Structure 1
Amino acid sequence: MFLCTKGFIMDMFSCFFVFILFHFWCFDSAQGQNTSHPNCTKEFQCGNLRNLSFPFYKSTELDCGLSKVYCEDTENPILELNGVKYQALEKADVFIRLKYTSLGELLKKNSCETFDKNFSIAISPSITYGLDPSLTLFKCNRSQKSRNEEFFNSSSYQSYNVCDGFILYYNISIHYYQVSEIPSSCSFIQLPLTSNSEAKSNGSGLFHLLTDEVILGWTVSDECNQCYYAGGRCQTDNTTNKFHCAYTFVLDAGNRKTKVIVTVAVFLGCCAGILILLLCFRKKTFWYKCLMFWESKTEDHRNIEAFLKNNGSYAPKRYTYSEVKEMTTRFKNKLGQGGFGNVYRGNLQNGKHVAVKVLNELKGSGEEFINEVASISRTSHVNIVSLVGFCFEGHKRALIYEFMPNGSLEKFIYEERSDGIRQLDWPILYQIALGIARGLEYLHRGCTTRILHFDIKPHNILLDEDFCPKISDFGLAKLCMKKESIVSMLGARGTIGYIAPEIVCRNLGGVSHKSDVYSYGMMVLEMVGGRKNVDVGVDRTSEIYFPHWLYRRIELDEELQLIGIMNEEEKECARKMVLASLWCIQTDPSSRPSMSKVVEMLEGNLDFLQIPPKPYLYSSSRTEVGSSEVELA
C-alpha cells in the first residue's frame, strides 16, 4: 500500500512539474490565453429593464453580445438594433416593449418621411428577433402605377397615393407573399401596427393604423449560446452567411513576477488538494463519515428526504446507487444525453428493460427531482411514461423508467427524408397526436391532483414498439388542486418554441392548464410540417413561420400541400390536426380549448370544426420577412 501511494505521489508531482512548464509556456508564447469574456459584465442593471445579460451588452463594453444597450443616466434605456436606436419602455422576461421616438414625431404630422423608416430586421444565424405586431407595406415607384395597380388591385390591397414619388399598398389581413411575385418597381417595408381594433375596422386611414411602439422578442440560436458560454464570439461568415464561432486571445496584464506568483500559488493549492485526498484514502472511515455527515445536512438533501418521507405511499421503489450501476452494467449502453444528464439502457433482475436517467447535480432545492417523482408517481395512464423506481443516495440521483424502444418523437419528425416520403405516415402521426392529447387530458382532469406539465415538446414524447406515445420528463411540472384554474409561478419555465405567451408576459392572462394546451398545439404543428415552426432554411420567405403559412391556406380554403398525403382519409386527418392546433395556439388563454375539447376535435367530424381566429402574437422567432418562438412558445 505504501509503495502504491508513494508511486502515486511521484506520478502526480511529475504531472505538476509538466503543468508548471506548460503554464509558463502559455504566458510567454501566443502572448495570451483563450478567454471567456474577461472584460464583459455577465449581468448588469439597466434602468427600468432591471437585470440584463447576454445577448445584451453595455454600450461601454466592446463586442460583449449581440444587442447593444445604452444604460447611462436614463430611466428608459436605449436599445440599438441594426444601427437603429429605440427607447426601451419595459421588459417582461423575453419581451421588451420599444418606442421609436423619431417615428412617433413623423406619425403625428402624417409625414411621408414615415415611410423612409423600416422595422424589418435582417436575418442572422446567431439571433432571431420578432417585432409584433407589424404591417407590411409595399412602396412602389409612381411611374409604374398602372403595372402596380394591376397586381395589387387583384389581391385586394388598399393604396395610399398622397406622397410624391411613390405609392403605398397594404392589406392588414394578408401576412404572406412571395417576394418573387412582387413587381420589380416595389420594395417592402415593415412598420409597427396598432393594436387598436377600432382603428383597424373603421378604415380611418393608413397613419391611424401605425404606431411608434412595438413588442420585441428574441431567440438566441443553440450554436451561438454554446459558442458564447465556451468563451467565443457569435459571428456570421461574410462569405457563406453561416454561423461562425470566433475565439479571441487577450494579453495578461501582469508582469513576469506576478505570473510566477500565480503559477506557484496554483501549484501549491493543487498539491494541498492531493494531500487531502490521500489523507481521505488512508483515513477513509473517519473522513468519509465527516463528508457524508456534511453532505446530508445540505438544504437540497433535507428537502428531498422530507418529500420522500411524506409521500411514501406514492413514491416507487428506491434503489441504491450500486444497484443502478449493476442494472446499467456500469453505464455501458448510453441512449442519449441532455442538460439534465445522461440516459442509459438497463435491465432489472426480472429481465425487464428500463431507461435510467442519471441526473447532474441538482440546482436549488432539488425541485426537478421532486417534481418528477411526485408527478409520475401519481399517474397511471397508457399515454404517460411509467416511473419504475429512483435512486437518491448522497449527491447521486437517478430516475428509472420503462424502456421505450422507439425513443423520442423528435427523431421521427425532423430527420431528413426523400421528397414525398415521411418518417411516419399520416395515420400513425394522427394516432400519436390523439394519444398525447388523451395523456394531457388525463393529467389535467383524470388525476386526483391536477398536474401541469409545462414542457410539452417532441423531445419529451417517447414512443413504444407500437408507436404509442408516452408523455415524459416532469421536471418542470406543477401540482395543483383541480378547482384551481390559475396557478402562481415565479419566473418562466419551459422550452423556447413551445412556451405559452402568458408565462412570459403575464398581462396576457393567468398561467393555467391552458399553457400546456398552447405547447401541445405548437408541437402538433411541427409534426404536421415535419419541421421546426420557424425555419430560416426554407426556400420561400413566406414559409419561414409555418403556423402563419398554414393559417393563410386554411383561411383561403386552399390545399395544405403537406408531404406524404396519399388519400382523402389522410387529408382529413391532417386538416383536423392543423385546425385543432391553430385553436390551441390562440394568444388569449381563454380562447384555447381544454384538452378534452381537443380530443373531441380530433375524434369528431371535420365538417363541425370551425376556423379559429388568427393568433395575435407570433411565435418568438421571426416574422415571415425577417422578424419570433415573437418563440413565444
Structure 2
Amino acid sequence: MEGCPCNPMQRSKSSQPKPIDLEGPYRLLYCSSKGDKNGVIKEIESGVSPNLADYDKRTALHLASCEGCTEIVNLLLVKGANVNSVDRWGRTPLSDARSFEHEDICKILEAHGGTDPVELDASNPCYELDHTEVDMDDSVLIGEGSYGEVYLVKWRGTEVAAKTIRSSIASNDRVKNCFLKELGLWQRLRHPNIVQFLGVLKHPDRLIFLTEYLRKGSLYEIMKNKGRLDPLTAVAYALDIARGMNYLHQHKPHPIVHRDLTPRNVLQDEAGRLKVTDFGLSKIAQEKDSYGSYKMTGGTGSYRYMAPEVYRRESYGKSVDVFSFALIVYEMLHGGPANRAESPEVVADKRAYEHSRPSLSSVAYPEKIKSLLRECWHENPQLRPSFENIIIKLEAIQEILQDKKFMKFCVNRCSIM
C-alpha cells in the first residue's frame, strides 16, 4: 500500500475520485436562509459563487432576503452577489423582501440598485390569474390528489401543474375563502425543497391553482420503480425532505404543519432534488395550549403515515410530521411500506393503540439511522427531535457513508493496481 495513490495518508486532491455532488449550491443556500454567517463565509471562501443558483434560479440573496437575514444580505452584496438576479418566476431579492415586509432589507437592496419587476401586493390574499391564460381543454390528467385532479397545462409558455379543487370545497364560500387564504400563504414561501405556488385561476365554475411541474414525478413513483434505495441516496433524499419541512416548521409568525407528509407529496425536480408539496393545503398551527401543542384534532392525513396522536384524535403539533418522515425514510431503505399486507387503517390503529412500529432488525440499516428512526417515531411526541436536529444528524450520517464509499473505492482500486 505504501506509495499507492489510494493511501488516505498520501492521496492528493487530484487523485481522489470525484464524489457525487450531494450538496452543490444548496449548502450555501441553506446557510443563507438560516442566517449562518460563518457557514456562508466558509462556502464562498471554498470557491462557491455567491450567485450560484438552484434549479429554480434562486440565489442565496433571494433566500436571505425573504427570511429577513439582514447581516447575510449585506455580506452577500459585499461578496459580489447580483442584487437583481431573477428566479424562475421573475422575482428578484427585492421582490421577496417586499412580499415579507422586511423594510430594512428593502432599503439595503434599493441602495444597491435593486429593482422589483413583479411588484406583488403583499396584502393580496392570493395571486389571481385570468382563467383565459390556461386552456384546460388541452390539459392532460397526470394524477389525483386529496383535493381533486391534477393536470399538466401550459401557462405563459411553461409547463405547470393545475390542481382542481373538488366541488364540495369550491362551492362552499366559507371553505373556499379559507382555502384561498392558505394558498395565499403558500405563494409567499420560497425554499429549494418546497414546490413553488404560482397562482389561482379566476374561473367562474371551478377553483384551480397552479404550481411548478416536476416531471420526474413523486417519491412514491421513484420507490415503486427502483425498490429499495441505497443508504447514501436515501439519506440525501431524507435531507431534502427534512430541509423543506424545517423551513415550514420555522415559518414566522406561525409554523406550518403539513399533516399529510407522504411519498406522494414529495416530488423530484430535474436536478434530482426532492421538494415537499401540498403543505399549503394543511392547517396552519396558530393556537397553542399550555403544553405547547396545537389544537388541531381532525383526522387529516394518510393512515399509513399518520402519527398515533392524530389517529386517536388527540391534540397534536409539529412532531406529527416527524413521525411521518421517519416512516418515509424507513420505506426508502426497506423498499416499500411496512405491513403492506394489512390495510392502512389497521396499521394506523396498531401504531396508535398497540405501539406497533416497523422492524429494524435488518442489517441493511446503518445503526445511526436505526437510532434516528426510533427517536422520530417515539410514542411521546415531546421526545421526537425537531427537523433542525434531524438535519444535523443526517449530515453526520451522510459524511460517514461518503467516507465509507471513498474507502471502498480505494480498496477496489488498489486491488486492481
Higher fraction of helix: 2
On the 8 A contact 1:318/1:390 being kept in 2, the answer is yes
User: Matched residues in 2 for 1:401 and 1:587: separation?
Assistant: 35
1:527 to 332, 349, 357: 332
**What are the residue-to-residue correspondences of 1:238-249 with 2, within 5 Å?**
none
Give the corresponding residue for 2:208. Answer: 398
**What are the residue-to-residue correspondences of 1:218-367 with 2, within 5 Å?**
313=123, 315=125, 317-325=127-135, 328=136, 330-349=137-156, 351-363=157-169, 365-366=175-176
User: Matched residues in 2 for 1:475 and 1:392: separation?
Assistant: 19
**SS of equivalent residue, structure 1 residue 587:** coil
2:185 is the counterpart of 1:380: no
User: Matched residues in 1 for 2:325 and 2:124: separation?
Assistant: 27
Q: Label 1:368 to 1:334 Cα distance change in 2 as closer, same or farther (>3 A).
A: farther
2:294 is the counterpart of 1:487: yes
User: Matched residues in 1 for 2:335 and 2:178: separation?
Assistant: 30
Q: Label 1:475 to 1:439 Cα distance change in 2 as closer, same or farther (>3 A).
A: closer
**SS of equivalent residue, structure 1 residue 452:** coil
**SS of equivalent residue, structure 1 residue 340:** coil
1:472 to 273, 277, 280: 277
* Cα distance per residue 1:132-188 (max 9 Å; x no partner): xxxxxxxxxxxxxxxxxxxxxxxxxxxxxxxxxxxxxxxxxxxxxxxxxxxxxxxxx
**SS of equivalent residue, structure 1 residue 503:** helix
Q: Label 1:319 to 1:342 Cα distance change in 2 as closer, same or farther (>3 A).
A: same
How many percent of aligned residue pairs carry the same amino acid?
28
Q: Which amino acid aligns with 2:372?
A: A
User: Matched residues in 1 for 2:178 and 2:131: separation?
Assistant: 19
Q: Label 1:584 to 1:314 Cα distance change in 2 as closer, same or farther (>3 A).
A: farther
Q: Which amino acid aligns with 2:359?
A: L
User: Matched residues in 1 for 2:277 and 2:237: separation?
Assistant: 14
* Cα distance per residue 1:392-425 (max 9 Å; x no partner): 433311111111021111011134x5xxxx4754
Q: Which amino acid aligns with 2:274?
A: P
On the 8 A contact 1:378/1:447 being kept in 2, the answer is no
On the 8 A contact 2:154/2:160 being kept in 1, the answer is yes
**What are the residue-to-residue correspondences of 1:122-271 with 2, within 5 Å?**
none
Divergent runs of 4+, >4 A: 422-425, 481-484, 605-608
Q: Label 1:490 to 1:535 Cα distance change in 2 as closer, same or farther (>3 A).
A: closer
Higher RCO structure (Cα 8 Å, ≥6 apart): 1
User: Matched residues in 2 for 1:491 and 1:549: separation?
Assistant: 25
Structure 1 or 2, whichever has the larger Rg, is: 1
Q: Label 1:388 to 1:549 Cα distance change in 2 as closer, same or farther (>3 A).
A: closer
Give the corresponding residue for 1:117. Answer: none
Deviation at 1:529, TM superposition (A): 0.9
TM-score between both structures, scaled by the size of structure 1: 0.38
Q: Label 1:376 to 1:369 Cα distance change in 2 as closer, same or farther (>3 A).
A: same
**SS of equivalent residue, structure 2 residue 189:** coil
2:304 to 471, 477, 497: 497
2:359 is the counterpart of 1:550: yes
TM-score between both structures, scaled by the size of structure 2: 0.56
On the 8 A contact 1:372/1:473 being kept in 2, the answer is no
* Cα distance per residue 1:188-242 (max 9 Å; x no partner): xxxxxxxxxxxxxxxxxxxxxxxxxxxxxxxxxxxxxxxxxxxxxxxxxxxxxxx
**What are the residue-to-residue correspondences of 1:44-193 with 2, within 5 Å?**
none
Higher fraction of strand: 1
Q: Which amino acid aligns with 2:285?
A: C
Deviation at 1:339, TM superposition (A): 4.2
**What RMSD over aligned residues (CA atoms) do the two structures have, in Å?**
3.1
2:320 to 503, 509, 515: 515
On the 8 A contact 1:414/1:532 being kept in 2, the answer is no
Give the corresponding residue for 1:602. Answer: 394
User: Matched residues in 2 for 1:312 and 1:339: separation?
Assistant: 29
User: Matched residues in 1 for 2:185 and 2:320: separation?
Assistant: 17
Deviation at 1:512, TM superposition (A): 0.8
**SS of equivalent residue, structure 1 residue 384:** coil
Deviation at 1:346, TM superposition (A): 2.1
User: Matched residues in 2 for 1:521 and 1:468: separation?
Assistant: 19
Q: Which amino acid aligns with 2:134?
A: V
Deviation at 1:343, TM superposition (A): 1.4
On the 8 A contact 2:228/2:334 being kept in 1, the answer is no
* Cα distance per residue 1:363-390 (max 9 Å; x no partner): 3523773365034223111111100111
User: Matched residues in 1 for 2:218 and 2:385: separation?
Assistant: 26
User: Matched residues in 2 for 1:367 and 1:454: separation?
Assistant: 20
2:196 is the counterpart of 1:389: no
Q: Which amino acid aligns with 2:204?
A: G
2:389 is the counterpart of 1:579: no
On the 8 A contact 2:330/2:373 being kept in 1, the answer is yes
